[in-house]
Structure 1
């Protein structure tokens, strides 16, 4: 009997395509045989995967997550429905997504960084890292060392700056980095289809995670209050401008102030008109009585421009009259001096009468001016009263807006005043936003999850073992069964022979003898 060994120098060829229809089905027995032969490889890879998982758990610092829940009031649904004809669900989703964008905005992150001074917190800026992260960082450092980049914009030399400018630039860079880091690490997600947003932060220090989450929620609440207060104040001012409801520094409407001023001016004008009328009527009566009675009835106040002239004339008149009386008593009325004095007296009386007529005409003009001014003021007061009536009706809406703005401003100031109080950390109701679940101190680490990590490590190890086992099977160099001989070599299989010497090979199992083809 001839004996020949048929080792395979390359991968075994696929089965002949002309084989029977039964050979197109998967051979379960053959697969089980392959699994049994590669069980050690799979087991070793699974152990390696578990070992790597344990190593990852040991070298990865635990992280703690603190979560707060923020409720967006359902009144938001009504607001967006009033201003848009689109579907309510679409508008509500957009509004809540907008609130999530506000929560993760740079401005809000900057407020939290400034409040907690996170740029000066080493635990936040340089948290402990896992061995994997350290390895990645080392590789990045080597890449940056090989390909150095400028540390300042524009390629400026950092070393040439003076110490004060360098320290300021470092502080600004740390703050910007802290804001960017916080903005990327904060998590804000909508819970299902509800109006609740879950706000959370994860850190290696549970106290730091709790403080950041609380401060973030409070900052968001304060920001919404401030925005609502400003929006209400702007609505008041816009309403005032649209309806012409200008107000002074005391909050009084300009129309009311104007009406009040006009009424005061009208009262003064009425008094002036009455005084001018009385004075005019008085002097008109004197003038109407004739020049003979002008001297006796002429009573001129000293504040009038003509008072000095008339007073001088009256003084001359009295002097001439006294001299005339003396001359007539001594020499008689026919005396030439008495006739001259009588004529002079008559001339002075005529001058006094002329001055009184001019003064009466002046008083008449003053009376007419005062009367015209009073009439104009009455017309202005009537117009102002009509506008004030309209403004008072419109002011009802303005008063509502003003009260709302005042309430929101007071609420915002109250919130800021109680911000540091522990009792205020509970749910604080506001117009549209309120905290329904305050951030609490995490008691257990949220990552890495031991069960999940070990489970994934085991699955990855098994998959790796299956891959290596498959490679071993496809790279097999010997025949294992008689079917292999018939399929691959197209020779008749006669049977199995034990290994010469009766001792199993190093890598063989009972029932798995290296096959020698017999011809």
Structure 2
């Protein structure tokens, strides 16, 4: 529950938040300011105590481009500086080897900046741990001590940092020291050591590669020479001779194949010519009456001069035969003679054709014989070629191996020459872009940042503590809380009077014998007399508000008997009961106040310390009511005390007895108002026994002290009392502090409003 704003406020707007913040600041400003001041003071002390630290920076380019001729001659591959490679270089920069090299180079083991860590908790723990592991150093040999020590190396590495600059191949190295000059000197030494280490590593790798190449070259040269010799020996053993890169047998087979093809073509032509002649000679020239088809014998027949002459004569006779037949008839003697001569010419032509056929037959047989001889030569060459196929395969394998060894030997020779030349031109892959210089200002602690962090951190912590205190402040501060939590109207907020003191065990003041005889109340404290002596005070006005709520109680018709109780003791219920009774009596009403707090009759010890009888004696009939009542002559107030003569074990039974009920009926008849001072709800159950006696109850809650949970629990355990409550009263209210807790109605607590109507601030 938010204690800084009214419970009935609806919504969580900006105005509510602003009001809550303002109220929180007004209530807890001292906590916030004190916390911020302490944090700022701690920041100043930190800046005063902590020595300054200077950080020097240097940048290294990883992918340093090398000359083109060096790249061509290099036998080592160019590294691809990807993310993994850059991370590897960062680990090398932060490695122990680099740290030891720089420490030895600059003699940092003797630097007090590194040895001054002997007072730190980390170094003390490291020494204890090393003692527990190795025991006394005096027992070990002096040669086992490592220089520099692990503590110095760890201290060095803790001040060294390296990181990649964006997405580039540039590494930023920084080192922190108490001296600006020393920081620049160390970070430059780290960068130079790293570059030199890279150069030495590449030189060693190149030298080892050159030595290996030299040994490999010797082996490859011997192997290539041996392979070539094996090829020559095998050729000599198998009588293999090559011409233009091809074996002789293969060329012979090719030539024989060409000759065989030509021979076969010639044989085919001779066969075709012979077939034509034989087909022509198969016909009988004597029986044939027509001219022989000389075109069928081919070009040889047409080119023969004999056949050509015979044919011309044959054609001439055929023409004459045709002319005579047309003139004299077919059977004429002249036509018959010409026909016989034509037959003779035909026979002559056939004879010549027969002679040509014989010539063609001779050519065919000759071509056939030549073809057979070439086929025999081809078969012999093929058989010889098959016999050396396995030898050729072996030769090819030997020649391929010899050729590969020679090529590999040449490649290694080129690499070896390049490596030998590169040894005279050492180039590192990394280089320092610009050496570090002493930083002009310290890197930490940053004064502005530390102060800002201290101030704003203190404010944040203060606000947090303020919120925590606000949440832990589970007490009643405003009337809105009372109405929201208890669902009861807040009748009044009775201010705290300056004269009020912490309640103490009752001290019985000395009373005169006349006062005892007349039963006149003793002079009460200033609190009880405020309503009479200061009728225009805030306190009196708050008590009037209680009386007005009693007179206008809408729950019951009669509010004659009013019980005043609280959840815990010392919440001011007795004071408010006495003040309310005095106010009513001072106004001219008949009023009696009854002390029903039988176990702790504090009101009786104040008003009637010498009382010999009281409510218990009147109830049991040993004394009359008139003998037990004490009066205040100023306000005409009647008071029925409670006299405690010994321990009372059953006070709740006494309060619910019929005698007490008859007594209260008598009081109702004699007085206009009966104000009852009841015990608290939480420690006792007596109040629950008075529900038949009391018309209405008023719950008194001490402002800023009584816990909300306590009041809720008290009302939950007394439901009959809760139903008869007409409201609650906040007692001992600090009106000046109310403006900080009830921001919505802060103007209500201004003294100017009361002064305007003649009221005092008290």
Q: Quote how far apart the aligned CAs of 1:397 are.
A: 3.1
1:467 corresponds to 2:464: yes
1:103 corresponds to 2:93: yes
Instruction: Give TM-score, length-normalised by structure 1.
Output: 0.53
- Counterpart for residue 228 of structure 1: 202
Greater Cα radius of gyration, structure 1 or 2: 2
2:155 & 2:446 partners in 1: Cα distance?
Answer: 23
1:483 corresponds to 2:480: yes
Given that 1:71 and 1:196 are in contact with CA atoms closer than 8 Å, whether structure 2 keeps it comes out as: yes
- Secondary structure, aligned partner of 2:60: strand
Match of 1:53 among 33, 43, 55: 43
2:54 & 2:77 partners in 1: Cα distance?
Answer: 42
More helix by share: 1
Q: Quote how far apart the aligned CAs of 1:48 are.
A: 0.8
1:498 & 1:50 partners in 2: Cα distance?
Answer: 39
Given that 2:64 and 2:431 are in contact with CA atoms closer than 8 Å, whether structure 1 keeps it comes out as: no
Given that 2:199 and 2:429 are in contact with CA atoms closer than 8 Å, whether structure 1 keeps it comes out as: no
Alpha-carbon RMSD: 4.3
- Secondary structure, aligned partner of 1:181: helix
1:63 & 1:446 partners in 2: Cα distance?
Answer: 6
1:44 & 1:506 partners in 2: Cα distance?
Answer: 23
Superposition pairs of residues 323-342 of structure 1, within 5 angstroms = none
Q: Quote how far apart the aligned CAs of 1:169 are.
A: 5.4
1:388 & 1:41 partners in 2: Cα distance?
Answer: 92
Match of 1:404 among 391, 416, 422: 422
- Counterpart for residue 433 of structure 1: 430
1:37 corresponds to 2:55: no
1:493 corresponds to 2:490: yes
Instruction: Give TM-score, length-normalised by structure 2.
Output: 0.37
- Secondary structure, aligned partner of 1:440: coil
Given that 2:5 and 2:20 are in contact with CA atoms closer than 8 Å, whether structure 1 keeps it comes out as: no
Q: Unaligned 5+ residue runs, structure 1?
A: 1-10, 247-252, 256-386, 409-429
Q: Quote how far apart the aligned CAs of 1:218 are.
A: 1.1
- Counterpart for residue 121 of structure 2: 137
Q: Quote how far apart the aligned CAs of 1:239 are.
A: 2.9
- Counterpart for residue 84 of structure 2: 94
1:65 corresponds to 2:58: no
Q: Quote how far apart the aligned CAs of 1:244 are.
A: 2.9
Report Cα offsets for 1:1-37 as digits up to 9, x if no partner: xxxxxxxxxx999999xx9893577842234312321
Q: Quote how far apart the aligned CAs of 1:153 are.
A: 4.1
1:217 corresponds to 2:235: no
Report Cα offsets for 1:81-113 as digits up to 9, x if no partner: x9899xx7xx61111111111111111111111
- Counterpart for residue 193 of structure 1: 167
Q: Unaligned 5+ residue runs, structure 2?
A: 224-404, 499-536, 539-731, 746-762
1:399 & 1:513 partners in 2: Cα distance?
Answer: 93
Deviates more, 1:475-484 or 1:182-191: 475-484
- Counterpart for residue 542 of structure 2: none
Match of 2:137 among 158, 168, 171: 158
- Secondary structure, aligned partner of 2:431: strand
Given that 2:64 and 2:430 are in contact with CA atoms closer than 8 Å, whether structure 1 keeps it comes out as: no
1:446 corresponds to 2:419: no
Q: Quote how far apart the aligned CAs of 1:393 are.
A: 6.9
Given that 1:480 and 1:512 are in contact with CA atoms closer than 8 Å, whether structure 2 keeps it comes out as: no
1:114 corresponds to 2:104: yes
1:233 & 1:84 partners in 2: Cα distance?
Answer: 17
- Counterpart for residue 183 of structure 1: 157
1:391 & 1:174 partners in 2: Cα distance?
Answer: 50
Given that 1:221 and 1:433 are in contact with CA atoms closer than 8 Å, whether structure 2 keeps it comes out as: yes
- Counterpart for residue 180 of structure 2: 206
Given that 2:54 and 2:176 are in contact with CA atoms closer than 8 Å, whether structure 1 keeps it comes out as: yes
How many residues in Structure 1 have an aligned counterpart in Structure 2? 322
